[in-house]
Structure 1
Amino acid sequence: MTPTPEPSSSAPAQAGALEEEAYAALRHALLFGGFAPGERLSIRGVAARLDLSPMPVRAAIRRLVSEHALDTTPAGTAVVPHLTREQFRELTGLRARLEPHALELAVPHLAEPELAALQGHLETFAAAKAAGDPAATQRADTEFLFTLFRAAHSPLLLGFIESLWLRRGPLFWEARWVLLSTSSLHARHADILAALRDGNVAGASAALADDIERTAEVLLASHPFGA
């Protein structure tokens, strides 16, 4: 009798790798202009865009829905959040509490290599802003802050912050030219780094909270929100 072949362990591993690839690609798209607020995401359409099969895309979308990075229609279709003013205010309030807390947790872990990395992100941001490149400015802004958040060594807190950023990402991308042209919004990261180098944790935390709140004020005054 021919022996029954044992199940291959490579198939689940490959499926998991494809799901992670789809998940990472969708997260990047939410942060950097891949989807518009209110856009409905068909599994086949997203799979074709990512050049993946529908199964890992379906799993990745389900993960993002469970993390509140995506909404769903009554029929169960995933949709990119189109935040109302009230939802944006709530999101801003959460960010203004969680992100300074992450910064404070990060401080004991910030040595010269981390501070040098923060300085590098500031310089990249300044060069991108001078070149009028909103995508590069947003990437540098993201890397500056997440260098701090990752240094907190709190996976749970980092996950909460990432979910908020994914949810606000499409709105911030849509408003990228407003944010790029508002020069007063870009000084606070330099203030954060200066305060960290001086050992002024409270000052760095306050500068981050102020940056979040001032950016929100600009958007609330100038950007159309969902109904």
Structure 2
Amino acid sequence: MSRRSIGHMAGDEVQSDFTLETLARESLGDTVYTRLAEALIKGRFAPDQRLTIRDLAQSLGTSVTPVRDAILRLIQDEGLVQRSAREVRVPIMTPARYREIRQIRLKLEGLAAREAALKATPADVARLAGLIASNEREIAGKNWFEALDLNQTFHFALAEIADMAVLRGILNRLWLQMGPLIAESYQAGGRLMIEHHYAVLRAVEARDPDAAEQAIVDDISEAGQIILDRLVARSAAA
């Protein structure tokens, strides 16, 4: 498949083109939605970035119709906002909204960590360990896109190991809004963004749900403070 550039990730001193694979023609509506949702969750679009249907359609190799439908769904899911009839942007989150979403994540991802600790197999533990090790390598190499992907994969892996499909869907919608913010702050956070993942891993391996929940709460709280500080500063400047 061919790949075409459509965007960038905002970060401290880091900008890079992002590509989406050109799509086959079957199941375009759902596929376009999934591809764009993944791009938001993985922070491939920056806060306040303007998205155009024509550019996205060209990048994905589709007509404008499935892209328009996907954007409407993402607006309903609060992953995008429509400023006018012709202007769609990635939302700029307020500090108050961020605090609310973070509070919800603490409960839901804490639940995912608890259940993962109770249900994880040795293969699941090995998978989590592999994600952490890979993330360490990418951070050391300053490969921020790859590190960010691994961070998101680790968080979602807990819900998958917990075998909670409904919870996974709810987290997916929350991360539509969180992805651009986490990407924007990931470089500034560095290793802090994964430091508590080791505690999560130890708790899951020990089948200790209380420790697993506390570790993911510490992870979201401490890494989230970096994001919140940036939001407060941006809000004050605005």
C-alpha distance in structure 2 between counterparts of 1:195 and 1:123, whole Å: 17
Deviations 1:98-142 (A, max 9, x none): 111122233333111111111110110111111111111111111
- Local SS of the residue matching 2:58: helix
Q: Does 1:99 align with 2:109?
A: yes
Q: 1:208 Cα deviation (Å)?
A: 0.2
TM-score by length of 2: 0.81
Match of residue 130 from structure 2: 120
Does the alignment pair 1:219 with 2:227? Answer: yes
Number of the residue aligned with 1:36: 46
Match of 1:137 in 2: 147
Higher strand share: 2
CA distance in 1, matches of 2:199, 2:116: 16
Mapped partners of 1:194, 1:105: distance in 2: 14
Counterpart pick for 1:195 among 183, 192, 203: 203
Contact 2:57-2:64 within 8 A present in 1 as well: yes
> Over aligned residues, Cα RMSD in angstroms?
2.0
Which structure has more helix as a fraction of its residues?
Answer: 1
Is the Cα–Cα contact under 8 Å of residues 85 and 225 in structure 1 kept in the other structure?
Answer: no
Instruction: Answer with 157-166 or 72-81: which moved more.
Output: 72-81
TM-score with structure 1 setting the length: 0.85
Which of 204, 217, 222 is 1:209 aligned to? 217
Q: State which drifts further: 146-155 or 189-198.
A: 146-155
Paired residue secondary structure (1:83) = coil
User: Quick check: 1:25–1:50 contact (8 Å CA) kept in 2?
Assistant: no
Runs of 5+ consecutive residues of structure 2 not aligned to the other structure = 1-23
Displacement of 1:77: 4.1
CA drift of 1:50 comes to 2.0
Larger Rg: 1 or 2? Answer: 1
Code of the aligned partner of 1:212: I
**Aligned-pair CA distance for 1:64:** 1.4
* Distance in 1, Cα, partners of 2:143 & 2:32: 26
Partner of 2:61: 51
CA-CA distance at 1:150 after TM superposition = 1.4
Verify the 8 A CA contact 2:132 2:194 in the aligned structure 1: no
1:66 matches 2:71: no
Decide which moves more: 170-179 or 114-123.
Answer: 170-179
**Residues 164, 184 of structure 1: CA spacing in aligned structure 2 closer, same or farther, 3 A cutoff?**
same
Aligned length: 212
Q: Contact conserved, 2:108 with 2:167, CA < 8 A, in 1? A: yes
Aligned to 2:90: 80
